[in-house]
Amino acid sequence: MSLKLTILGFNSAIPKKKSAPTAQLLEIANRHFLIDCGEGTQVQLRKAKAKFSKINHIFISHLHGDHVFGLIGLISTLQLLGKETPLWIFGPKGIKDFIMNQLRHTQSNCSFELSFKELESKHSELIFEDDKVKVFTIPLNHRIYTNGYLFKEKEKSRKLNIDAVKKHPEIETCDYQNLKNGRDFQLQNGEILSNQSLTFSPEKSLSYAFCSDTRYKPDIVPIIENVDLLYHEATFLEDLKEMADYTGHSTAKEAAIIARDANVGKLVLGHFSNRYKNPEILLEEAKLVFENTFIPKQLQIFEA
Amino acid sequence: MSLKLTILGFNSAIPKKKSAPTAQLLEIANRHFLIDCGEGTQVQLRKAKAKFSKINHIFISHLHGDHVFGLIGLISTLQLLGKETPLWIFGPKGIKDFIMNQLRHTQSNCSFELSFKELESKHSELIFEDDKVKVFTIPLNHRIYTNGYLFKEKEKSRKLNIDAVKKHPEIETCDYQNLKNGRDFQLQNGEILSNQSLTFSPEKSLSYAFCSDTRYKPDIVPIIENVDLLYHEATFLEDLKEMADYTGHSTAKEAAIIARDANVGKLVLGHFSNRYKNPEILLEEAKLVFENTFIPKQLQIFEA
C-alpha cells in the first residue's frame, strides 16, 4: 500500500485562472483525507477524478481564506450529492461557527452527520486514530492560530512466510493472525518455532507531514522526524527573510533546513509568493540544502 | 453607450470543471455591477479580463450557495489588491452577518469601506440611484427570500443639433446644458426657439432585468415591462413543471411567457438543471413562445 498525495492547489493568497489555493488529497491506508480547502477545491477534486463519497475527514490548517473558503461549497455539494456517511472536520477553534453560520443563512440541512473537532492546543496532540492510521497536529507559527498535520500509518502486521508455515501441519489457518501479530508458535512436542522463522518483516509504515502556513519553526523537527514525505510552505526566497518573518511565512531555504534536519524522504514546496513568476528559483535555493526537493504542478501526484 | 452583460456563470447548484455557478457582470452607463457571486466568480472575472477595481456594487439575489459562496473570496481578494473605494453589497437580510462572521473568523481587516443594504421587502423598491442609473428590486418566489434586480438608465440628455445652434450667435456655450435638458431658448428680440428645433432626441435609455431563482411569477411583468434584456432562470422543461414548482424554479416555457408578456427585447435563459446534457432543448421550448431567446456560453457577452 502506497501513500498518494494529490496537490489540488498550492497558490498563496489569490485563486488564479489556472491554479488554485491550498488543498491536498491524501490517500493513506485506503483513507481519503482532504487537507485544507481553498476556494474552488471541489472543482479541483473533480479534475483529479476524486471520489467525493470517500472523503469523510477534512483537516484545515488555519482560518485564512486561501485555506478554507472552499469548505462551505464542498459541504453543500456533498449534501446535494446525497452523502450519507458522517463528515469530520478538524480545524482551529471557531471553524464550527464559521461553517454553521453559513449553513444557517443558506438554510441548508445537512443530509449527513457533520462533526467538528476544534483545536486550540499549542502542543502536538493525537486528534484522530483508527485501526490503520494516526493523525497528530503540528503546531505552527503563523499570523493566526495554525496547525500542520502529521499522518502516520500504524505498524503493519508481519507477513506470513507461507513456505515455512506449510512445513508444519500443526499450524492452522486460525493461527495465522497470531503469527502476523508477532507471536511464536509452540508445537505439541513443546518445541517453540520463533516468529521470525515463520514470518517476514511488515511493510514499512508510511507517513506524511503537512506544514503550511508557518514561520521557520525548528521545534517541529522532532515531530516530523523521518516522515516519508513533507510538504512545507516556501513563500519567499531567503533574501526576503525579513518579509517572511513579518508575514508569518518561511523561505525555501528554511523549508529545506527543516527537511534536512528531520531527515525526511522527500520535500515538496508550495505557497509561493505571486512575485515569483518562475518558482524554479525557489527550488534551486532549497536544493542547495536538501537535494530531494520538488515543486508541484497543479494536480500533480506525489507518492511514497 | 451600450449595455453589456457578461455571463460569468450560469450553472445551477454545483460548480463544474468547465462551468461556474451564477454570476454576471453588468456594464451600464459606465457602472460595473456584479450580480450574484457563486464560488469561483473571482476566477471567472479574471477570465473575462474584468477590472476588479471598478466593481463597487454587488447585488445578491438570495443566500443559496450557488449564488453567494464566492462573495467572501472576492471581498478578500479586493482587500489584497488594495481596494480603496467603498464596496456596497445589496442582498437579503442576513447577508451582513453572513459575510462579517467570516471576516471575523479569518481575522480580516477590510482596507476599504464595506457597506450592506439588507433587503426584506416583498414589494419592488428603489435601492440604488445615482445621476445615471436606478436599480430596483424584483421580488421573486423561490424556496428562500429572493430578489431579482432591474437596472435602468435614467433618461439621457437631448443631443445638441450643432448646425441649428450655430445659426444663432446669441446661443453661447454656457446655454448648451439648458438646451440638453430640454429648455427652449429666448432670443433678445423676444422670439422663442423651440427646444426641438435646436436638439435631437436623447439616446434610448437601456434597461436590464435579472430574474433568478424563481417560480413562474407573472406579477413581475409590469416591473420589467419593455426592458431591453432579460435574464430569466429556466431550470426545467415544461414536462417537469411540477418539479419546478416544488423546487421553486421555472420552466423554459414559463420564462418565455414572462419575456413575451413583458415585451422585452431579448431573453437569455440560464440555471439549467444538470439533467439536461444539451440545453438546446430548453432553448427550443422557449422559442416556441418567444423567438428572440438565447442560451449563454461561459463568459458570453450580451449587448443591448
Return the domain boundaries, chain B.
4-156+203-303, 159-200
- Which band of pLDDT confidence, cut at 50, 70 and 90, is reported for residue A1? low
Confidence of residue A151 (pLDDT cuts 50, 70, 90): very high
**Identified catalytic residue from B36, B66, B130, B184:** B66
Residue A154 has pLDDT above 80, yes or no: yes
pLDDT at A111: 82
The answer, for A144 touching chain B at a CB cutoff of 8 Å, is yes
Instruction: Tell me what the pLDDT averaged over chain B comes to.
Output: 96
Residues of B in contact with A108 (CB under 8 A): 65
Rounded Cα–Cα distance for residues B106 and B111 (Å) = 14
pLDDT at position B284 over 90? yes
CA B289/CA B275 separation, integer angstroms: 23
Q: How far apart are CA B258 and CA B145, in angstroms?
A: 20
Pairing, β A207-211 against β A147-153: antiparallel
Condensed to tens digits (0 to 9), the pLDDT of residues B96-150 reads 999 999 999 999 888 899 999 999 999 999 999 999 999 999 999 999 999 999 9
Q: Do A97 and B95 touch (CB under 8 A)?
A: no
In this structure, which topology does domain B4-156+203-303 adopt according to CATH?
A: Metallo-beta-lactamase; Chain A (3.60.15)
- Residue B243 has a pLDDT of 97
Question: Cβ of B222 under 8 Å from any chain A Cβ?
Answer: no
| Residue A110, pLDDT score | 82
> Which residues of A have a catalytic role annotated?
66
Q: Which amino acid would we find at residue B256?
A: A
Contacts with A24 (C-beta within 8 Å, 6 or more apart), sequence order: A5, A6, A7, A8, A34, A35, A36, A210, A231
- pLDDT at residue B1 in the model: 55
Residues B147-163: pLDDT tens digits? 999 999 999 999 999 99
Please state, in angstroms and as integers, the Cα–Cα distance from residue B98 to each residue in A100, B93, B261, following that order.
10, 10, 37
- ipTM tops 0.85: yes
Residue of B nearest to A21 (CA): B73
Per-residue pLDDT tens for A14-60? 888 888 999 999 999 999 999 999 999 999 999 999 999 999 999 99
Q: From CA B295, how far away is CA B280, in angstroms rounded?
A: 8
Q: What is the DSSP letter of A56?
A: E
Q: What is the pLDDT of residues B12-44, one digit of tens each?
A: 878 888 889 999 999 999 999 999 999 999 999
pLDDT band at A143; cut points 50, 70, 90: very high
Give the pLDDT confidence of A218-261 residue by residue, as tens digits.
999 999 999 999 999 999 999 999 999 999 999 999 999 999 99
Size of interface A-B (CB pairs under 8 A): 90
Q: Which of B15, B63, B105 sits opposite A42 (nearest CB)?
A: B15
Distance CA A34, CA A37 (A): 8
State chain A's mean pLDDT as an integer: 96
